[in-house]
Structure 1
Amino acid sequence: MRDDNTRNTIIFFVAAALLLLVYQIFVIEPQTKRAMEERARQAPAAAVSTAAPNAPQMSQVVTREAAVAATARVPIDTPALKGSLSLRGARLDDLYLVQYRQTLDKNSPPVELLRPDGTQYAMFAELGWVGANVVGMPGPNTLWTLASGSKLAPGQPVTLTYANGQGLTFTRVISVDDKYMFTVADTVANTSGMPVTLRPYGSVQRQGVPPSLGKNGVIHEGGAGWLEGKRRPLKYAKWQKDGSSPTYTSTGGWVGITDHYWLTALIPDQKSQIDGQFRLTKAPTANILDAKFDGQVRTIAAGRQITETTRIFAGAKQRPVLEAYQDNLGIAHLDEALDWGMFWFLTRPIFGLLSWLYGYVGNFGLAILALTVIVRLVFFPLANKQYESMTKMKKVQPAMEELRAKYKDDPQKQQQELLALYQREKVNPLAGCLPIFLQIPVFFALFKVLQLEIDMRHAPFVGYIKDLSAPDPTTVFNLFGLIPWDPGTLPLMGSLFAYGSPPGFLHIGVLPILYGFTTWLTTSMSPPAPDPVQQRIFQFMPLLFTFIMAQFAIGLLVYYTWSNCLTVLQQYVIMRRFKVDNPIDQIIRKVTGKPKPEGVG
């Protein structure tokens, strides 16, 4: 039977390794290749479209530079944003986040948020009006007139105008603050001699999803909004598969499109009723994803005018900034643009604590270490009970093995003797389970926080760690850079070793190895499983987790490796107190040649 178990275990691990290899070659490698091609392309922007104003647009693909140069524009210049506003359609469609770079290179261009219609993966925001049987409504091709202002900047609004020749004059005043909020006041004056009925709308449109987006299984990317009093997330994959969402009738709220760290959202008057929706239009070249709202129908009497004010958030999802807008402008739940997850009641305070620690120590890596210590201190009493229970179980393990061998043919008697042993030694096999279950929500909340926090992006720590949000750049296969050779250049198998996002499955750096070693130590300090096959599986788990965790941001590995070190220290002290042999002392004895002390079990 034991030989069969051994054979089955080997078959399982070989099959698992082959599956991982196939997944890497046929799934991860093509995804990485597409993402690299997309980043290498500065694919570009827009041509003319002829659809209705409130319908998604599709057009011929041109370069970004050509699209920007094709229309008259108003420059946008703030401490956080650079770009331009198109006078054709009065669209916000050319925007960069100047405080964030695409890569760590000091000459790297800033992060691109919006790009004009017609470019590959175009994304833009537009506002407008629709009216049944109203001739001459401004649309995507309408060329507005710049009436005042030469540059859109904080304290320097611009005014655009358009007269439709049918007695309607449209005036659009656009202002921007020093962060990421645009305010658009749209006025319609009616001199036609008869009442007209119009309805305002807003749209954030993305023409195709870049291959680098929508792959994050932890942080939401796709449609986002707060409508009908609820958070309304819609992942890119589901959006493209299931099509348009239901229409949400909401008072206030907001709707938009979000990526890992960035958000473009439309924010109507918070006292007005709107109909919000995530719409999908399939097209031959790219699916068009449209996060939109339609406002209330407005009737403008002859000789009167109305004004509709809408805000557009276009920028980084910085929690203090989102909360300031939420509080100062009365925007409902704007901080829900951050994906707090199902354990939001833990994620929010932990996020706040980590941000405070970062502000205090000035280094995000040190903030992670400090957070780890605080979390370990909070759970110290529970962990102590857990480790004491595990240590007692490890201490009686030899006696348990003797009883199992002695009564292997009488399971009932074996169970009775084991229970008697537990009572004599005051051991409860289940005592270590409750603390573990209580810590699981915190584990997931921490995992979420460390990927949610934008301050970890491109944040250096110590030595070779230049970006805590990226995987470990070193690899054991060139002795961590000591050998001038890149294993990612290997023919056929290079993708398995290559560094990227995610890296190849066999790309194992310094910190993943330290994580694996400390995980092995914590596992070795626990009582072994009674079944030999389970024992082999548990012995293999640290190695498996080493490869799995190597795919994640190195900031996560900093947390979990440091947490493992604190766990090992706590377990070591308890095992020494109960005189139970442990792997650290075993390693020391092998190195020094000293015998095991008397009385240590």
Structure 2
Amino acid sequence: MTDQKNLILAILLSVAIVFGFHFLYEKPRQEARQAELARQKALTEETVDVTQPRLTPGAAPVTEGPTGPRDRAEVIAAGNRIPISTPQLHGSINLIGGRIDDLSLANYHVTPDEDSPEVVLLSPVGTPSPYFAEFGWVGTEGMPVPGPETRWTADGGTLTPGDPLVLSWDNGQGLVFERVFAVDENFMFTVNQRVRNTGDAPAALSTYGRIQRRGTPETSGFFILHEGAVGVFDGVLQEFDYEDMQDTPDPLKTTGGWFGITDKYWLVSLIPDQSQTVDVRVVHQNATGADIYQVDYRTEAATLAPGQTVDTTHRLFAGAKKADLLDEYGDALNIPRFNYAVDWGWFFFLTIPFFHALHFLGGLFGNFGVAILVFTIFLRLLFFPLANKQYESFAKMKKLQPKMEELRKRFGEDRQQLSLKMMELYKTEKVNPLAGCLPILLQIPVFFALYKVLFVTIEMRHAPFFGWIDDLSAPDPTTIFNLFGLIPWDPPSMLMIGVWPLLMGVTMFLQQKLSPSNPDPVQQKVFLVLPFVFTFMMAAFPVGLVIYWTWSNTLAILQQWLIMRRMGVKMT
């Protein structure tokens, strides 16, 4: 009875979690988002000191301009800017400060509708959510170096692939600074910082790069996905979520590597000269109630003699985390583990090849949803021998159920005697009740790795399937509670139970009917609730995952049915 009570309690708690999802998670999350937007409206132009990037946490920030956020288009229109135009990027460089602070992704839109706005990646200071990248110099005390208020002179027009942009500034004390921006066909900027000493005294300078984000962004909130600061330091991948950044990690020293801020699908990353040793810092600061997150690095100081010119090359990746493209950059530029900007997880030895297989099949069939179906077939074939053993064990157990029921009637509440007789029955009939468990355990890492691939890779974002599914990365947009759109009513999110989640629940129910039933009648009834619970739970997941789960269940049912028929087991 204790076991039954515990099981019933666990199921009731699961149901409560599902039905309370909207009120205990979704609603507070939306309220928190609104509160964050309100905080961002109070965001001023205060920031970590640009001229001293090694500013210790907690030191007073400096002011860059007027307070109060404004419309993004208004801020950009009011600036002195040079356009950026590539096949993948649209934006501009601010000649005040020489920042890359205006970028949108030309081939990625907010919704599956290609007429919807482009995804905005970077935004200038003065907008509700500033997010920018910047490079500069640090000199000795009293030495004028370019800063956030510096007005650069541009030599050139629009920055395009093959047409770099040169910015220059003279500090009036013998140092001429130049910043040369170049961009490729995709998402990689090359920034060459050049200083020429025309004076008669040596000058000591170091260079830096930084990425700054103001306001805590809304994250996916799933434990299997990292969002926040990320980087590779001396070959070791390190991740800091936004809470970790608030704990102000200690500065790190690395030779080469890369470091930046990642979202689910997008990455903004600094990439120093891979032969240089740099100091890297992950910084958090709170200014006027708003959080400021920064990742920066600084090179070692170099002395510039009179008449000498020094060049330092930096790179900036700002765009979509396309795995193949990250691999190409990593190989071409010798960037260590750059493809790990995609959160492959603990089972990377499975997730990476799974991704490449799905990507190949998606290109072959022209539909990522079809790729999921075909890959699932291959996966089921791979585990066919193990699944056969599992289902044969299930079939034998199901065949023995009448004899097991007789033993339960004979020995009633004498659990010890019943257990002994059950073991004798298993031995006589040569049945191992645990034989079906090992195949399941071996398949768990594989199925979890596939789930990870489908969840974190950008290739599934806004990828259509068939019919009403125009985005495999979003939940099924239909719901049974308005008869799949026939009734003009928009149910709350917790009632969005679409066609595919319902199909998944049906396949779970059919699998239960084919499997050996639990000997306890109370537990039998409790387990009948599980397909219903999982239908509600999976309805909130990306429909690509639900399609995979439904199709996998269907193949499993077919295999199990064939085995049971071959073994002469009665279908119930």
Question: Which of the five TM-score ranges fits, normalised by the shorter chain?
Answer: over 0.9
Following TM superposition, by how much is the alpha carbon of 1:284 offset from its aligned partner in structure 2, in angstroms?
Answer: 2.1
Residue range with higher mean Cα deviation, 274-283 or 412-421 = 412-421
Counterpart-to-counterpart distance in 2, 1:340 and 1:70: 41
1:8-65 Cα distance to aligned partner (Å, 9 max, x none):
776665555445444422431232466589999x999996879443267766222212
Correspondence for 2:22: 24
Counterpart-to-counterpart distance in 1, 2:273 and 2:518: 61
Q: Answer whether contact 2:90 2:103 (CA < 8 A) is retained.
A: yes
Counterpart-to-counterpart distance in 1, 2:47 and 2:282: 21
Counterpart-to-counterpart distance in 1, 2:76 and 2:351: 41
Correspondence for 1:272: 276
Letter matched to residue 551 of structure 1: A
Correspondence for 1:220: 226
1:519-560 Cα distance to aligned partner (Å, 9 max, x none):
111122211223344333322211111111111000101111
SS in 2 for 1:282: strand
SS in 1 for 2:269: strand
SS in 2 for 1:112: strand
Q: Answer whether contact 1:451 1:469 (CA < 8 A) is retained.
A: yes
1:249-305 Cα distance to aligned partner (Å, 9 max, x none):
111000101101100000000011011221101122311000111112211122212
Letter matched to residue 517 of structure 2: P
Counterpart-to-counterpart distance in 2, 1:460 and 1:36: 31
Counterpart-to-counterpart distance in 2, 1:57 and 1:536: 65
Question: What are the residue-to-residue correspondences of 1:56-135 with 2, within 5 Å?
Answer: 60=67, 61-135=69-143
Note closer, same or farther for the CA distance 1:152–1:283 as it changes in structure 2 (3 Å cut). Answer: same
Q: Answer whether contact 1:214 1:235 (CA < 8 A) is retained.
A: no
Counterpart-to-counterpart distance in 1, 2:239 and 2:482: 43
Question: What are the residue-to-residue correspondences of 1:326-405 with 2, within 5 Å?
Answer: 326-405=330-409
Following TM superposition, by how much is the alpha carbon of 1:478 offset from its aligned partner in structure 2, in angstroms?
Answer: 1.0
Counterpart-to-counterpart distance in 1, 2:465 and 2:62: 45
1:530 to 511, 519, 523: 519
RMSD value, Cα:
2.5
SS in 2 for 1:359: helix
Correspondence for 1:506: 495
Correspondence for 1:555: 544
1:575-600 Cα distance to aligned partner (Å, 9 max, x none):
111222224xxxxxxxxxxxxxxxxx
Counterpart-to-counterpart distance in 1, 2:259 and 2:497: 41
SS in 2 for 1:257: strand
Counterpart-to-counterpart distance in 1, 2:393 and 2:495: 37
User: Is 1:154 the counterpart of 2:161 in the alignment?
Assistant: yes
Counterpart-to-counterpart distance in 2, 1:36 and 1:382: 50
The count of residues paired between Structure 1 and Structure 2 equals 562
Q: Answer whether contact 2:11 2:526 (CA < 8 A) is retained.
A: no
Note closer, same or farther for the CA distance 1:522–1:29 as it changes in structure 2 (3 Å cut). Answer: same
Residue range with higher mean Cα deviation, 320-329 or 75-84 = 320-329
Q: Answer whether contact 1:204 1:292 (CA < 8 A) is retained.
A: yes
Residue range with higher mean Cα deviation, 42-51 or 320-329 = 42-51
SS in 2 for 1:519: helix
Question: What are the residue-to-residue correspondences of 1:368-517 with 2, within 5 Å?
Answer: 368-487=372-491, 497=492, 504-517=493-506
1:191 to 186, 198, 203: 198
Correspondence for 1:577: 566
SS in 1 for 2:351: helix
1:165 to 164, 172, 176: 172
Counterpart-to-counterpart distance in 2, 1:224 and 1:463: 38
Counterpart-to-counterpart distance in 1, 2:380 and 2:533: 25
2:302 to 294, 298, 301: 298
Q: Answer whether contact 1:45 1:65 (CA < 8 A) is retained.
A: no
SS in 2 for 1:97: strand
User: Is 1:262 the counterpart of 2:266 in the alignment?
Assistant: yes
Following TM superposition, by how much is the alpha carbon of 1:239 offset from its aligned partner in structure 2, in angstroms?
Answer: 2.5
Letter matched to residue 232 of structure 2: W
Correspondence for 2:58: none
TM-score (norm 1): 0.88
Correspondence for 1:205: 212
SS in 1 for 2:495: coil
The answer for unaligned runs of 5 or more in structure 1 is 488-496, 498-503, 584-601
Counterpart-to-counterpart distance in 2, 1:17 and 1:409: 31
Counterpart-to-counterpart distance in 2, 1:198 and 1:350: 47
Note closer, same or farther for the CA distance 1:343–1:127 as it changes in structure 2 (3 Å cut). Answer: same
Note closer, same or farther for the CA distance 1:152–1:512 as it changes in structure 2 (3 Å cut). Answer: same
Counterpart-to-counterpart distance in 2, 1:529 and 1:57: 68
SS in 2 for 1:161: strand
TM-score (norm 2): 0.93
Note closer, same or farther for the CA distance 1:337–1:16 as it changes in structure 2 (3 Å cut). Answer: closer
Q: Answer whether contact 2:47 2:292 (CA < 8 A) is retained.
A: no
Counterpart-to-counterpart distance in 2, 1:383 and 1:36: 49
Note closer, same or farther for the CA distance 1:109–1:578 as it changes in structure 2 (3 Å cut). Answer: same
Counterpart-to-counterpart distance in 2, 1:228 and 1:214: 29
Counterpart-to-counterpart distance in 2, 1:277 and 1:44: 26
Note closer, same or farther for the CA distance 1:435–1:473 as it changes in structure 2 (3 Å cut). Answer: same
The answer for unaligned runs of 5 or more in structure 2 is 56-60
